[in-house]
Structure 1
Amino acid sequence: MSADWPLGVARHLLDSVDSTNAHAARLARGLSGPAWIVAAEQTAGKGRRGRDWRSPRGNFYGTYVMRPTERAEVVALRSFAAALALREACVALTGLPGAFALKWPNDVLVNGGKLAGILLESAGQGGGVSHLAIGIGVNLIGAPEPDAVEPGALRPVSLLAETGKRIEPSVFLDTLAPAYARWEAVFTTQGFAPLRAEWLAHAARLGEPITARSGSHTREGMFETVDAQGALVLMTAAGRVAIPAAEVFF
């Protein structure tokens, strides 16, 4: 374990699991504090909208699980903390700050291709959240074939192929966990504003035309910003619109 490992955060290392988010849900009630759950292999990993997530050994599959105290809509903003920590870890391990960008709502890109994704899952009642699982998958050494993703989606890429850097999952965890702890501390003490500003500083296609799809509804417009609630703001032909949830296509 790294000397920089965040104080009070547990660490669960598994060889194989159905998914780290599912395991986090099983462990959540008995946890005394936040924890990282990392597996060498997932047998039933999931991406956004329940899509299968290919999980070969050598890539990074991890979940940060915690018991938040904020309202559900505030808890969800931690996806930005996770994205910032992911980018910070990638830069630290490769020394290539210009290669990495952030794609709304929760992807990390390298050289324009999709390197990593984030999946938030939670449980609770009313406006409260009993636990939050932040699932993170990073293509360290391998990526899905282009025909495995939907038409128009960004090409999947690996860190190894794009940068020539072979990073072990354990090394990636030792860099990611302290980075996330720093952004978690900023979020809990200063709120979303500093995360929003830093995220926008590294946003892919900011000021450019993009497409946002939510169900059967498609909107096209100029990517203006992310608002104080984390929503995507587009300037469309019909005017400015804030989109709280969608998939973005370039």
Structure 2
Amino acid sequence: MKDPDWPEGYGRRMLGEVGSTNAEGLRLARDLARPTWVFAARQLAGRARRGRVWSDPVGNFAASLVLRPAEAPGQAALRSFVSSLALHDALSAIVPGAALSVKWPNDVLLSGGKLAGILLEASSTASRMEHLVIGIGVNLAAVPPQVDGAVAPVDLRTQTGAEITPERFLYHLAAAYAAREAVFVAEGFAPIRAAWLDRAARLGQPIVARRMQGETHGIFETIDAEGHLVLSTPQGREAIPAADVFFSGGAA
């Protein structure tokens, strides 16, 4: 398998060991003149959504993309879908035919297990977003510890036999992301939304959206133009901007 060329217009910082690639990306952001990937061979204090810990065994992938979005914060945040599509693209190119899917709002699944996660963080002023940092972790070679209640993690090597180093995977992901980003900038969210829905896990099936104030049971109908999860419930359609999604059996 030939690795793709590095995408034009994107920089990269290749680091040995950091606490968090997202934290490092936020620290470096003001000095970066163009979109830049911050890669770490080892990430010691990775983080996930809602303050959770992201574990990175040796051989797994950890990197963050630092951007300076031109859009309003809500539109810029739709890059969680751009990122998950790019991950799906890169992984599909490495392992054609693999049973990959995307899980709202920002995970990639392989054969129903959690293969990759995405965390968006931003630096902003009162009026605008200054930088967006997209952190991405992929279980390429080893399964991290399972978080209670979450979808069981899987790794690419065990599930498919594919072996790829984190450094090589960065080239595949960076190229895939640049292609999806170009579509997002030129055409907006609509084509990203359509492509994401084509790959969505549990579309048309019962799921549970759990929030701090309670949970909503319903049929996963779609995502709307703002990226909100839309459920069909006995009380009618409900658009949910943020939640943890649980499938049958209780896994998030």
In structure 1, distance between residues paired with 2:168 and 2:42: 16
Q: Which amino acid aligns with 2:63?
A: G
Aligned residue pairs: how many?
Answer: 245
What whole-Å deviation, never above 9, does each CA across 1:30-64 have from its counterpart, x for those lacking one?
11111001101111110111111111220000100
Shift of 1:190: 0.2
Shift of 1:69: 1.2
Q: Secondary structure at the match of 1:143?
A: coil
Q: Which amino acid aligns with 2:226?
A: Q
Partner of 1:187: 184
**Aligned: 1:26 with 2:24:** no
Runs ≥4 residues deviating over 3 A: none
Mapping of residues 94-109 of structure 1, within 5 Å? 94-97=95-98, 99-109=99-109
Q: Which amino acid aligns with 2:200?
A: A
Partner of 1:149: 147
Mapping of residues 165-204 of structure 1, within 5 Å? 165-204=162-201
Mapping of residues 1-250 of structure 1, within 5 Å? 4-97=5-98, 99-145=99-145, 148-151=146-149, 153-250=150-247
2:57, 2:144 within 8 Å by CA — same for their partners in 1? no
In structure 1, distance between residues paired with 2:157 and 2:51: 27
Q: Secondary structure at the match of 2:129?
A: coil
Evaluate the alpha carbon distance shift between residue 139 and residue 43 of structure 1 in structure 2; reply closer, same or farther with a 3 A threshold: same
TM-score normalized by structure 1? Answer: 0.96
Q: Which amino acid aligns with 2:111?
A: N
Evaluate the alpha carbon distance shift between residue 3 and residue 224 of structure 1 in structure 2; reply closer, same or farther with a 3 A threshold: closer
Please provide the CA RMSD for this pair. Answer: 1.0
In structure 1, distance between residues paired with 2:31 and 2:19: 19
Q: Which amino acid aligns with 1:163?
A: T
Shift of 1:96: 2.0
In structure 2, distance between residues paired with 1:16 and 1:240: 46
Structure 2 residues not aligned, in runs of 5+? 248-252
Q: Which amino acid aligns with 1:229?
A: E
TM-score normalized by structure 2? Answer: 0.95
In structure 2, distance between residues paired with 1:131 and 1:36: 13
Percent identity at matched positions? Answer: 54
2:4, 2:175 within 8 Å by CA — same for their partners in 1? no
2:4, 2:172 within 8 Å by CA — same for their partners in 1? no
Shift of 1:127: 4.4
Q: Secondary structure at the match of 1:235?
A: strand
1:71, 1:127 within 8 Å by CA — same for their partners in 2? no
1:69, 1:128 within 8 Å by CA — same for their partners in 2? no
